[in-house]
C-alpha cells in the first residue's frame, strides 16, 4: 500500500509547508502561512493592518467570498528524496466571525499555535476556503483529485516529522536499517560506488528505499498503516534493537 492522491493532497495542504495564494482579480501572488481544518478547508490568518493579503481577501461589495487558488510545493525531507510534487487547491474564501472564527482559530492552532490567534476579531481575521477543485502535478503529470475524496482523506500522521525521523535513522541506526533492507530485498546490495541502500521517504504505509546513488527505488510496506510516532517506534524496535530482541529470546 501507498498514499493515495487524496492523502498526498491532504498532507501537502495541511500547513506544514508554505503556500502561495493566487487571488482572482487582485495583485499578487502572496506567500502565506496556512492551515487546513479536519475537512481540508484552507485557513489563512491575517493581521488587518499589516498583512496585504487581508485586504486582497476581502470580498467586493455585493459578494460574500473571493475566488482563490493556493499552491503548495513539496520539499524533499532529505537529500535524494523523491518529491510528492505540486498541489493546487482552488475554491471560494471568505472571512469568518463569531463562533465560526473561534472554531477555525482552534483548527489553525493545531498547526500554527501563534499569538496572532488571540487577536482574531480584534485586529486579525481568519479566512476559510471552501474547496472546489484539487490537482496534483508530479513528474509532469497532473492528476485531478475528487474534492469529496480529498475531504474524506487524512494527512499523513508522520508528515510533520518525516525529515527528523529520516535524519535520526541515518545518523543513529544506519547499520541496522541497512541490514533490515538487505533482509527484505535480497538483491539490494551495494552499488558500484559502494553506497548502501537508504530510506529516503517515510509515511504511514511504509518506507521508500533508494538502492544506491541514482539507483532504483523500492517501497517496503508496514504490516498495517500506522497511526503515530509511538506506533512507529514500537514497530521498528525489533529492527533497531535486534541485540535486545535476541537476548530476550535466548533467556
Please say whether the beta carbons of 67 and 151 come within 8 A.
no
Over 90: is that where the pLDDT of 149 sits? yes
Same domain, 114 and 82: yes
| Residue 192, domain CATH | 3.20.180.10
Return the ∠ at Cα 126 (arms to 125 and 129), rounded to 5°.
135
Give per-residue burial for 93-123: e unless 16+ CB within 10 Å, then b.
Answer: bbbbeeeebeebbebbeebeeeebbeebeee
pTM here is 0.88
251 band by pLDDT with thresholds 50, 70 and 90 = very low
Same domain, 11 and 131: yes
Give per-residue burial for 2-19: e unless 16+ CB within 10 Å, then b.
Answer: ebebbbbbbbbbbbbbeb
DSSP code of residue 23: E
Taking only the tens place, the pLDDT of each residue in 225-235 is: 999 999 999 99
Higher-confidence position of 222 and 190: 222
Q: pLDDT at position 185, please?
A: 80
From residue 176, give the alpha-carbon distance in Å to each of 38, 192, 237: 37, 21, 11
Over 70: is that where the pLDDT of 244 sits? no
Q: pLDDT at position 94, please?
A: 96
Same domain, 27 and 71: yes
What the block records as the C-alpha cell of 190 is: 551495494
Q: pLDDT at position 213, please?
A: 67
Taking only the tens place, the pLDDT of each residue in 165-178 is: 999 999 988 888 88
Same domain, 200 and 149: no
Q: Which of 128, 154, 180 is the last residue of a domain?
A: 154
Q: pLDDT at position 232, please?
A: 93
Q: pLDDT at position 192, please?
A: 40
Q: Which of 154, 170, 199 is the last residue of a domain?
A: 154
Q: pLDDT at position 250, please?
A: 41
C-alpha 38/C-alpha 44 separation (Å) is 15
Same domain, 173 and 145: no
Alpha helices (H) in the chain, listed in sequence order:
5-13, 52-56, 98-109, 147-152, 162-172, 174-184, 229-240, 242-250
Over 80: is that where the pLDDT of 161 sits? yes
Q: Which of 132, 154, 176 is the last residue of a domain?
A: 154
Count of Cβ atoms closer than 10 Å to residue 155 Cβ: 23
Same domain, 96 and 207: no
Q: Report residue 24 CA to chain centroid gap.
A: 26
Q: pLDDT at position 101, please?
A: 95
Q: How many domains does the chain have?
A: 2
249 band by pLDDT with thresholds 50, 70 and 90 = very low
Same domain, 145 and 230: no
Same domain, 173 and 231: yes
| Residue 92, domain CATH | 2.30.110.10
Same domain, 101 and 167: no
Same domain, 139 and 211: no
Q: Domain range for residue 41?
A: 5-154
Report the chain's mean pLDDT, rounded to a whole number.
89
Q: pLDDT at position 208, please?
A: 93
Same domain, 145 and 27: yes
Same domain, 142 and 204: no
Amino acid at each position: 500500500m501507498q498514499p493515495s492522491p487524496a492523502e498526498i493532497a491532504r498532507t501537502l495542504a495541511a500547513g506544514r509547508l508554505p503556500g502561495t495564494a493566487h487571488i482572482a482579480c487582485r495583485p499578487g501572488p502572496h506567500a502565506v502561512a496556512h492551515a487546513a481544518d479536519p475537512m481540508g478547508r484552507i485557513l489563512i490568518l491575517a493581521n488587518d493592518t499589516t498583512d496585504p493579503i487581508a485586504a486582497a481577501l476581502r470580498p467586493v461589495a455585493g459578494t460574500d467570498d473571493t475566488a482563490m487558488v493556493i499552491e503548495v510545493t513539496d520539499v524533499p525531507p532529505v537529500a535524494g528524496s523523491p518529491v510528492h510534487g505540486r498541489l493546487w487547491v482552488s475554491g471560494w474564501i471568505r472571512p469568518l466571525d463569531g463562533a465560526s472564527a473561534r472554531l477555525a482559530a482552534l483548527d489553525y492552532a493545531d498547526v500554527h499555535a501563534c499569538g496572532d490567534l488571540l487577536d482574531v476579531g480584534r485586529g486579525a481575521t481568519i479566512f476559510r476556503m471552501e474547496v472546489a477543485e484539487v490537482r496534483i502535478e508530479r513528474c509532469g503529470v497532473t492528476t485531478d483529485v475528487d474534492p469529496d475524496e480529498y475531504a474524506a482523506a487524512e494527512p499523513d500522521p508522520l508528515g510533520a516529522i518525516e525529515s527528523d525521523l529520516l535524519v535520526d535513522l541515518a545518523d543513529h541506526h544506519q547499520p541496522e536499517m541497512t541490514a533490515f533492507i538487505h533482509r527484505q530485498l535480497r538483491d539490494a546490495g551495494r552499488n558500484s560506488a559502494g553506497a548502501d541502500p537508504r530510506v529516503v521517504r517515510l509515511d504511514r504505509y511504509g518506507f521508500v528505499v533508494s538502492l544506491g546513488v541514482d539507483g532504483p527505488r523500492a517501497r517496503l510496506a508496514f504490516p498495517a498503516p500506522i497511526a503515530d510516532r509511538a506506533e512507529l517506534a514500537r514497530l521498528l524496535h525489533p529492527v533497531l534493537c535486534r541485540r535486545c530482541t535476541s537476548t530476550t529470546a535466548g533467556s
